[in-house]
Every structure is written in structure tokens, then in C-alpha cells.
Amino acid sequence: MTTVETATGATKTMVLNMGPQHPSTHGVLRILLELDGETVVKAVPDLGYLHTGIEKSCEDKTYSQAITLTDRMDYLNPLGNNLVYCMAVEKLLGLEVPKRAQYIRVMMVELQRISSHLVWLGTHAIDLGAMSVFLYCFREREEILKIFELFAGQRMMTSYIRIGGVALQPPAGWRQMVERFLKMMPSRVDDYENLLTENRIWIGRTKGVGYISPEDAIALSMTGPTLRAAGVVYDNRKVFPYSSYEEFNFNVPTRTESDCYARYLVRVAEMRESLKIVRQAMAKITDDGPIKTEAPGIIPPQREKMKTEMEALIYHFKIFTEGFSPPPGEAFVAIESPRGELGCFIASDGSPKPLRVHFRSPSYINLQALPKLIEGQLIADVIACIGTIDIVLGEVDR
């Protein structure tokens, strides 16, 4: 059992156990709160209720088998997890991904960012008492999941991004579907803003709540919208561009207030920027072209080749039995997930299974700033602060 040391030593404080089943902890987060009246004196997060040992499991899988595990970490951003893992393996192998596959990846990851922000906005609003926003957000998220289903046959755990490219060719009719979504979405984002941005209750619950200074945010390794709401422009898509992001024209929204309201504005603005990126990516994706790189022995051969060529059949057999062995070495790749810098570190010892796979999960690292956000605040603000960090417990505990 975790115990809280009394900070004041006085007898009037009480310890309140919040979670792990509390609905507004967005999963199974437990926080021990020491309260003086309604003021939080000390907060100690307690994690690990969803620890599934994904990093250990990856060590017992071949490189391509481990992709399906990465989906399950951050279940609101499975494509981002696929992308960072695949990019790390590609870096180890020195593989070049065809431009067309890179644009498809960018489009999918940006759609995923919108859907993740929609879930965040909906759940954050419902925590603070705005029920209708939740219903609207999930309505639009459904449209994105339908696009994923069209592309990958799966709504959430798509495993669509694979080593060397993506799994399938874009299906017939995808342009119309994405186009319809892009037409509809800007006015829907306006609707959320109409409901919340100037809403007195929303402002009262979020403005000035959960302040953290930019220096503290950097010192505590925070990344993502929480850091950008503090005025620090750090976005991996701009600073260390990957997957051809340097060819896209978009802004990185920042604020300087660094409270829950500023983080809300940053995320809503990010949704609009993501729509811009999706539109540009759609224009860049040609109607036909390769979706995977050519690398015999690593990328599974096409079905037709497998039926006609002996080598292709042998490679197919070897990939799915033994796997492939990247040269010994380490690779660290970081992307911008909806929650911040999502990193993947892979160490290879030259065998078909990774020696070590580590994920730098933004939720986990951002969460350690939670005590800083809520100490000295009212207990009702704890919920606003948990929501504003945008944690996914599957990723926190891994």
C-alpha cells in the first residue's frame, strides 16, 4: 500500500483515495489526495493497474509480430503507435518508405489525431458537466472510425501501418469518404466552440486552473499540447520532421496562459490544423503507386509473385517463420502523438527478435506533472487537471 506522508503534520488534513475506479480518471488511475478542507495539500499518483508488460512481450515476438501489440498501448492512437514502432524498425534496417506510403501514413495519423482529440474533448467536457459535447464528439469520431474500417477492415486496432509501408492499398471510394468528412468537420468544430469557448461555466471551470510555468513543464519533461499551451513551441512534426511532414503546410498552435482553458484552445486549434494536413495529404496521394518498399526477405512478397516465383515463396515462408534480423544496434525514433512526444527505442542484437523495445509514452511522463498542477487547488479542479493532461492509462502502464 502506498501511504501519504503528511506534509503539514497537523491533524486536520485527511487522506482521500481517488480511484482506481473513479470514472473521471479515464481508466484506472489512483491518486492519494491529502486534503485540508477542500484544498489539495499533496497528491501522490499510484499507477500500474493496467500494466500488461507489452515491452517484455515484444522481446519474445519477431519484429513484425510486435506491431499488433503496439496498437493496444495507446488505444486512442493505435496508428501513431504503429507508426513509431515501424519507423524505428525501418531505421534499424535502413529502409526507405515510398513517398506514397508516407503520405498515406500522414493522412491516417492526422485523422487519428482528430479522433483522439475528439475523445479527449468529449470526456473532458463530460467530466466538467457538459454532456452534449460528448455526444457530438463521439458522433464525429464514428465517421473517422468508418474511414479506418474502410482502409484497414478494423475500426480501432487497425495495425494498418507495417514495416516498410502500409498494409493495404487505399480501397475504392476512399476519396469521397474522406472528402465528405473534411467538408463536414470544420463546421462541427465550430459547433463545439460555440458550445464551450464562451460558455461561462466552462470558463469558470478551466480558466486559471492547473497552471504550470514553462520552465517547470520542460523540467518535468512534459511534451505535446500541455507544453505548447505554456508557450514552448516544440512539435516533432516541425522540429524533427519525419514521414515527409516537412512538405506539409501547417501551423503549430500555441498559447501562453498554460491553464486548462489554454490547453483546450490548443487542442481545438490542432484539430483544424490536422484537417489542413489531411486535405494536403489527400492531394498528394496518387491513385496508384507502391504502398510498400521493395525489400525481399523483410517485406512479405505480393501474392501473385508468391504463386509464380520460387524465391518469393521462400522469402514468404522465412518471414513468417523465422522473421528477419536487423543488424545489431539501437534506434530511437520520436513522433508527435496527440498527447506529446511518442518515442520508440529498439535495441537489436542481430537476432530475429528485438533485444529491447521501449516506448517513451507521453501520457506516463506528462502525468508526473499532475501533483504540480493540483497541489494547492480545490478538489473539484483535480478532475479538470486529470482531463487536461489527456492521459490514456493503457499507455501510462503499458
Partner 1 sequence: MRWIGINSRRYGFEIVTESASQNASVVAETLRSWNPQAVAEVIEYHGETTIVVPRELLRAAAERCRSHAKLQFNLLTDATCVDRFPVEPRFELNYHLVSIPRRDRVRLRVRLSGHDPVVDSLFPVWPGANWLEREVFDLFGIRFHGHPDLRRILLPEDWEGHPLRRDYPVEGFRDVPNTGEMFRKSSVL
Window of 47-55, 153-161, 251-259, 275-283 that interacts with partner 1 by CB under 8 A: 47-55
Contacts to partner 1 from residues 357-376, by CB under 8 A: 358, 360, 364-365, 367-368
Residue type, 160: Y
As measured in angstroms, the least distance from the Cβ of 353 to partner 1 is 8
CA neighbours closer than 13 Å in the CB half-sphere of residue 247: 17
Which CB atom, from 91 or from 141, has the smaller least distance to partner 1?
A: 91
The helix (run of H) or strand (run of E) holding residue 17 is strand 14-18
As measured in angstroms, the least distance from the Cβ of 272 to partner 1 is 24
Distance CA 325, CA 297 (A): 10
Residue 117 near residue 338 (C-beta atoms within 8 A): yes
Residue 265 near residue 207 (C-beta atoms within 8 A): no
Listed residue (64, 137, 62, 150) closest to 104, CA to CA: 150
Residue 228 near residue 257 (C-beta atoms within 8 A): no
> Which residue among 74, 140, 143, 341 contacts partner 1 (CB under 8 A)?
341
As measured in angstroms, the least distance from the Cβ of 397 to partner 1 is 6
As measured in angstroms, the least distance from the Cβ of 163 to partner 1 is 13
> Which residue among 17, 38, 60, 303 contacts partner 1 (CB under 8 A)?
60
> Which residue among 153, 186, 297, 376 contacts partner 1 (CB under 8 A)?
297
- Angle (nearest 5°) at CA 319 between 316 and 322: 130
The helix (run of H) or strand (run of E) holding residue 15 is strand 14-18
> Which residue among 28, 220, 335, 386 contacts partner 1 (CB under 8 A)?
220
> What's the residue count for the chain?
398
**By CB under 8 A, is residue 343 in contact with partner 1?**
yes
Number of residues that bind partner 1 (CB under 8 A): 58
Window of 104-112, 182-190, 214-222, 387-395 that interacts with partner 1 by CB under 8 A: 214-222
**By CB under 8 A, is residue 246 in contact with partner 1?**
no
Quick note: the x/- pattern for partner 1 over 96-125, rule CB under 8 A, is x-----------------------------
As measured in angstroms, the least distance from the Cβ of 387 to partner 1 is 20
Distance CA 176, CA 377 (A): 48
Q: How far does Cα 386 stand from its chain's mean position? A: 16
Question: DSSP of 315-362, one letter per residue?
Answer: HHHHHHHT---PPSEEEEEEEEETTEEEEEEEEE-SSSS-SEEEEE-H
**By CB under 8 A, is residue 221 in contact with partner 1?**
yes
Q: Using CB under 8 A as the criterion, which residues of the chain lie in contact with partner 1 when the complex forms?
A: 1-2, 47-48, 51, 53, 55-57, 59-60, 91-94, 96, 218-223, 232, 234, 239-240, 294-298, 322, 324-327, 329-332, 334, 341, 343, 345, 347, 349, 352-353, 355-356, 358, 360, 364-365, 367-368, 397-398
